[in-house]
């Protein structure tokens, strides 16, 4: 599943993770650049999803390949993606600063330890969430 895109950002995400997929759907709506390629690594047919990116690593952390060919992961990868979103560009620049990215990396690693539980909670919440129409009707909105 190796991709070669000459320019733009390649986003590698775990499409088998409902929480990850939901976040990617949200981010896809915000990104206005057509130079972003979204790659679901859960559909990979080999042990490497991209040059230098083993499938096991791609499934365990969020990765992007930037337009200069650098492979970034975790908070730096999110920062690079946020820079593609007009209203979030400032957050991407801020998150990439050395002191800040260190703390974001610690937080991201803590999240990764709890990711399985977070996914289970997300699935439960989604299962029991009422449809938007029900919530609107409850408040008299047609």
Distance CA 30, CA 82 (A): 9
Distance CA 23, CA 32 (A): 16
Q: What is the pLDDT of residue 2?
A: 43
pTM above 0.85, yes or no: no
94 contacts: CB under 8 Å, gap ≥ 6: 100
Q: What is the pLDDT of residue 45?
A: 84
What's the rounded mean pLDDT across residues 122-137?
66
Helix (H) or strand (E) holding 43: none
Residue 109 phi, psi (nearest 5): -65, -40
Distance CA 124, CA 99 (A): 36
- 3-state secondary structure at position 142: coil
Distance CA 85, CA 92 (A): 9
Helix (H) or strand (E) holding 47: none
- 84 vs 133 pLDDT, higher one: 84
Q: What is the pLDDT of residue 6?
A: 47
């Amino acid at each position: 599943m190796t991709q070669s895109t000459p320019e733009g950002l390649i986003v590698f995400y775990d499409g088998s993770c409902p929480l990850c997929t939901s976040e990617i759907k949200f981010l896809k709506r915000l990104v206005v650049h057509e130079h972003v390629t979204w790659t679901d690594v859960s559909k990979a047919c080999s042990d490497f999803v991209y040059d230098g990116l083993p499938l096991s690593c791609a499934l365990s952390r969020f990765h992007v390949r930037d337009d200069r060919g650098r492979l970034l992961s975790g908070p730096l990868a999110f920062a690079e993606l946020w820079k593609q979103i007009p209203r979030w560009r400032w957050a991407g620049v801020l998150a990439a600063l050395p002191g800040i990215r260190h703390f974001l990396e610690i937080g991201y690693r803590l999240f990764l330890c709890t990711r399985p539980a977070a996914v289970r909670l997300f699935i439960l919440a989604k299962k029991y969430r009422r449809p938007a129409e029900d919530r609107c009707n409850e408040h008299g909105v047609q």
